[in-house]
Structure 1
Amino acid sequence: MKGTYAFLKSLSRFSCRLSPQGAERMGRILGLIFWTLVPPKRKQLAEKNILRAGITKNKREARRIARESSLRFGPMAVDMFRFPLLDSRNIRDIVTIEGSEYLDALKKEGKGCILAANHCGNWELEGAALALFGYPLLAVGMKQKNEEFDRFIREYRSIPGETVEYKTGIRDMYRRLKQGYFIGLLCDQDPGNAGIPADLFGEPTLTPTGPAHFSRLCEVPILMLFIHHTGNGHYHITLEPPFWTDSELPKKEAVLKMTSLINSRLEKWIRTYPEEWFWLHNRWKWTDRLRKQENKI
């Protein structure tokens, strides 16, 4: 949409002039606006997903979780608008990292890794923080349909020092990993026609295999990472110990085993902080389509 980039830049300039308290209020307002604009069917989908996952059996509680998980998009947007204010010093007043020793060891040895990224918490700040802490981060994402919005996202992700690329080839990924990059690959969204079924919340769920494939091919570890809002504008990143895809197993078996492990770790985190996951996403679209086909037989 024409004018999107200029509009977002103006919001960024405005938010950068605010005090931390003012930015917090702006985030709350934007969150409420976002929730108001979410279509009723999408809100119902989020509630259905929460009940389906067994997070709660209470519909009112599911509605609360759906709302809270959506309201956080306001503060997350404002945090991104304020990326021009961040540097390698003040980021440490906002974000703490648990498990940084794993990345430090890899960086010291010049080795790359796969970061199994997800939509838990403030994932934009998570990537920015890792880059500002000095880690060679490469974020692999998908091009946004709105070109001006895509331009803004790419520009602001690069401000803290992230290298941003769209879906890239195997050779390029291999080269980047050998150069010591920590590559973030999303693992918690429906991959369309790609991926394999792996258990998530007790259901076969089509899951991206990129992390497992590249870990096996390039012989690099996978690290799960999560970010949690601890209150008062502060965040805590948790990096779990690295694990490797079993190279001795047949390829399909090794990839399924690793992908299932990733889903298991993701599920555990979501159950702990359900308000911080992206419930608006139609995560079981493939599962529902499969069941409809089975019922026709």
Structure 2
Amino acid sequence: MNVKDRFIAGGYAAAWSLIRAMPEKTAYRLFDRIADRVWKRRGPQVLQLEANLLRVLGKDTTPESLAATSRKGMRSAMRYYCEAFRLNGWDRRRLVDSVDIADEDRARLAEAVRPERGAVLALGHTGNYDHAGAWLVATFSIGFTTVAENLKPEAVAERFWAYRRKLGMEVLPHDGGPAVFGTLARRLREGGTVCLVADRDLGASGVPVDFFGETTRIAAGPAALAVQTGCRVYPASLWYPGPGRLGIRIHPEIPVPPDGTRREKIARMTQTLADAYAEGIAAHPEDWHMLQKYFLADLDPGKPPAPDGRPSPRGHDQDSPV
């Protein structure tokens, strides 16, 4: 490990100890201040966040409204880190009581995690998916499988993987190749639950979708797994109703179309998934943590989107399940 990597790994290790030991209000205020400093610098991540938000808010939105939303967006994105450093310290009762979810959505989720037939919960880069996962484990007394992108340096990746495992997740490496898809399919056939953050295409196999009137590519994984295994797919939207709380909406199941080729079925299901993501983002745009180029109009068409754009306290990219 070189000097820079040791510095980054040491910073994360210190944060995991120091932030967890802080009073909760102090920790949230600290990360709000960090977010505000990043926002005021108007760096590439903030400018890209605003370019993405402009698609959501509409071209007629005022500069003041866009700036206010992007500032909230930076606070929301940094809040993920604050909670990542503290979430393992929450007891089961705190976790179970920390989520706002409508009775209809809770019932839909209870149906999704029944062991008789596997289910994919497909999330986007909104709110805090680790918080959602920990709540799912605590509330329904189940484990689930997810996929995580490798971080650099390796020591930081291991910390995040260990953190998620402690929350009750089975974590598979994103770069594990076809074996990862096979493992996910096996878990689903066994009646397990798979949670995937799938609103981006990290490879070259993403499906083009219409998203806020423009084209982007999102991961084909949830639809491909459903076509392959017959599992159910439920989109999920996350947002922050207030300090220490998470809102969860479980959208209706996306059924596998009865006709068409495999490719056509996957394309149609993925567009429906994109529509659900867009609905959730439109309702809570400040909690969409997309700080990277996302729409094809902003990207080199020959290249997939870059790794996750969540801002890091040390300025490098965070990992995300995909």
In 2 relative to 1, CA 112–206 (structure 1 residues): closer, same or farther, beyond 3 Å? same
In 2 relative to 1, CA 229–106 (structure 1 residues): closer, same or farther, beyond 3 Å? closer
Structure 2: gaps spanning 5 or more residues: 303-322
In 1, Cα distance between equivalents of 2:160 and 2:147:
13
Please give the TM-score of this superposition, normalised by the length of structure 2.
Answer: 0.81
Q: 2:49 aligns with which of 43, 46, 50?
A: 46
In 2, Cα distance between equivalents of 1:55 and 1:181:
40
In 1, Cα distance between equivalents of 2:28 and 2:273:
33
Alpha carbons 2:100, 2:247 under 8 Å: kept: yes
Paired residues in the alignment total: 290
In 1, Cα distance between equivalents of 2:260 and 2:11:
52
Counterpart of 2:107? Answer: 101
Report SS of the residue matched to 1:231. coil
Alpha carbons 1:119, 1:188 under 8 Å: kept: yes
In 2 relative to 1, CA 54–29 (structure 1 residues): closer, same or farther, beyond 3 Å? closer
Aligned-residue CA RMSD (Å): 2.3
In 1, Cα distance between equivalents of 2:75 and 2:50:
14
Tell me by how many angstroms 1:201 deviates. Answer: 0.9
Report SS of the residue matched to 2:64. helix
In 2 relative to 1, CA 69–142 (structure 1 residues): closer, same or farther, beyond 3 Å? same
In 2 relative to 1, CA 74–42 (structure 1 residues): closer, same or farther, beyond 3 Å? closer
Counterpart of 2:319? Answer: none
| Code of the aligned partner of 2:278 | E
Alpha carbons 1:55, 1:271 under 8 Å: kept: no
Report SS of the residue matched to 2:240. strand
In 2, Cα distance between equivalents of 1:41 and 1:4:
21
In 2 relative to 1, CA 179–35 (structure 1 residues): closer, same or farther, beyond 3 Å? farther
Alpha carbons 2:145, 2:195 under 8 Å: kept: yes
Counterpart of 2:320? Answer: none
Report SS of the residue matched to 2:32. helix
Judge which range, 189-198 or 26-35, deviates more. Answer: 26-35
Identity within the alignment, %: 21
Counterpart of 2:148? Answer: 141
In 2 relative to 1, CA 105–42 (structure 1 residues): closer, same or farther, beyond 3 Å? closer
Alpha carbons 1:43, 1:280 under 8 Å: kept: yes
Alpha carbons 1:216, 1:247 under 8 Å: kept: no
In 2, Cα distance between equivalents of 1:36 and 1:116:
33
Tell me by how many angstroms 1:161 deviates. Answer: 1.0
In 2 relative to 1, CA 105–190 (structure 1 residues): closer, same or farther, beyond 3 Å? closer
Report SS of the residue matched to 1:265. helix
**Structure 2 residue 239 is the aligned partner of structure 1 residue 232:** no
The 5 A counterparts of 1:32-71 are 32-35=36-39, 40-57=43-60, 58-71=62-75
Tell me by how many angstroms 1:115 deviates. Answer: 1.2
**Structure 2 residue 208 is the aligned partner of structure 1 residue 216:** no
Alpha carbons 1:206, 1:286 under 8 Å: kept: no
Tell me by how many angstroms 1:164 deviates. Answer: 1.1
In 2, Cα distance between equivalents of 1:43 and 1:18:
28
Counterpart of 1:121? Answer: 127
In 2, Cα distance between equivalents of 1:240 and 1:5:
38
Structure 1: gaps spanning 5 or more residues: 292-297
In 2 relative to 1, CA 123–35 (structure 1 residues): closer, same or farther, beyond 3 Å? farther
Please give the TM-score of this superposition, normalised by the length of structure 1.
Answer: 0.88
Counterpart of 1:294? Answer: none
Report SS of the residue matched to 2:71. helix
Tell me by how many angstroms 1:230 deviates. Answer: 1.1
Counterpart of 2:305? Answer: none
